[in-house]
Structure 1
């Protein structure tokens, strides 16, 4: 699974320490999968740990331990935190937090390993959304539509663990918010990605104009040129990397999994993954077995510095401070 390090303008745990959380995530996934698979093989999954969908979608109960805040209050009462430096206070708090707390539960008992894996990935997907919309002390107003966001699931469930995803992040440039396309950071490249997907077998005819043509069996209509937003996104990324002296290949990609793109005179720096070559491109990405690299984390850190974040302080912390 790819790692969601930024979701629009939501607060993200990766913003706190991009050099720590990616490896924690990989360790979490491995530990929980081994534990879940072992329980399933020993028939440990029963009706006592099923999770049912609510009317508004899959809602995971907040797993932050209430005892955590009781521990913090106790340390304040005993002056074990109050007399420490800010850095020492942060280290004490981090030592109490269990960022790997995660328990898989299922809507029904999986019949085979493939079904077990699918349900496990769905559970982990919801857990990732939590990491990408809250921290220990803050949380963002989460929109439940992301539980069902197919394109987001595509990046998180079908790419390797070493791929970092910024899903339509909002950059704050010269005090103006700018939402960009999907940014995928692999160990070797950075991809700026947009989608052109409507009905099956639609053909998109590219040009340098403001609008492209979309053709199907019944009609022909104009659609906004996707390169307008893709070029803007790529420029923002390139300028940030230049400022931080980062050199890494940046690709612009248009994906159309259920359609085709016809653009004979396309710019040389634009790539297409559509009906005729999508699987080839996709498998080449999945086969990249390189571990996380320092330059990759540096790319993520530089981009996160310019992302807008909208969040509120957790009520638990306000009540803790009042106590």
Structure 2
């Protein structure tokens, strides 16, 4: 299951410590899957219609963090993020424990797996739009975004996904395509999908032609946004002396791309060769690597973030001001 480390300009837990959260997510996922299977085998499924994860951190944890901030113990907070084995980090993890509750009882283990992945997808959206102290306004369309689910649910845990991140360069926000950082490569990907079996005729012009039977329609050249995305990634990597291969991909899972003179540095994956590329990506078993995490951190540092403080933290500030009077 790929990890969603950035969604548009939403605040992300991964921005706080990219060297900690990816491995923590993998560990949490395994723990909860094992726990779920044990519950099934022991016939301990909970009541129907309950939530899968808790909406907010436990009050006890918030109180503990408030005390930490009140004392000005910033080093303790930093240390908590740096060391996943610390007791207080375990408490934060506990506040986001899964439950074994689903909307309906799984018919079999395969059904259970699909439900688990669907609920885990919601958990990923939470991590990609909130932290302990901040939140971003979530566009509910992402709960049903098939392309986002494709990256998050169908690729290995070690794939780090930036889904249409917004970079802030020279004080100007720039929207980009999808960026997927694997342990060995960085993939800049744009989708070119419409009706089933549509044929896209590529060229160097500003528009391509989409053909369905006898009907033709102009569509924006997907290479424009793809080239812009790759250029941003490459420049950031160069500034940080990162040597990780970058690939540009135009992806059409349900159609065809006819582009005889496509640039050599652009890969076209469509209905005839998509499955081979997809299976190759899924079979990548390499663990998380330092260069991969460094690459992710370098990109996140240039991403724009729009968020607001959680109300409970604002309440805490007011209480402290009253006490100080």
Tell me if TM exceeds 0.5. Answer: yes
Aligned to 1:10: 10
SS in 2 for 1:321: helix
SS in 2 for 1:4: strand
Aligned to 2:142: 146
How big is the shift at 1:49? 4.6
Aligned to 1:50: 49
Paired with 1:308 and 1:45, the residues of 2 have a C-alpha distance of 42
- The Cα RMSD (Å) is 1.8
Aligned to 1:211: 207
Aligned to 2:24: 24
Aligned to 1:302: 298
1:1-323 → structure 2 map (5 Å cutoff): 1-46=1-46, 48-51=47-50, 62-72=55-65, 75=67, 82-91=70-79, 95=88, 97-99=91-93, 101-104=96-99, 105-323=101-319
SS in 2 for 1:98: helix
SS in 1 for 2:227: helix
Question: What are structure 1's unaligned runs of at least 5 residues?
Answer: 53-58
Once the two structures are overlaid, the 10-residue window that deviates more, 137-146 or 159-168, is: 137-146
Paired with 1:71 and 1:85, the residues of 2 have a C-alpha distance of 12
The question of whether the paired residues in 1 share the 8 Å contact of 2:230 and 2:248 is answered with yes
Paired with 1:82 and 1:61, the residues of 2 have a C-alpha distance of 26
SS in 2 for 1:197: coil
Query: How many equivalent pairs are there?
Result: 311
How big is the shift at 1:71? 3.6
Paired with 1:51 and 1:265, the residues of 2 have a C-alpha distance of 54
Once the two structures are overlaid, the 10-residue window that deviates more, 92-101 or 183-192, is: 92-101
The question of whether the paired residues in 2 share the 8 Å contact of 1:2 and 1:160 is answered with yes
Paired with 2:173 and 2:72, the residues of 1 have a C-alpha distance of 38
How big is the shift at 1:321? 2.6
* Distance change in 2, residues 1:11/1:191 (3 Å): same
The question of whether the paired residues in 2 share the 8 Å contact of 1:69 and 1:320 is answered with no
How big is the shift at 1:89? 4.9
The Cα offsets for residues 239-271 of structure 1, whole Å up to 9 and x where unpaired, read as 000000111110000110100001111000000
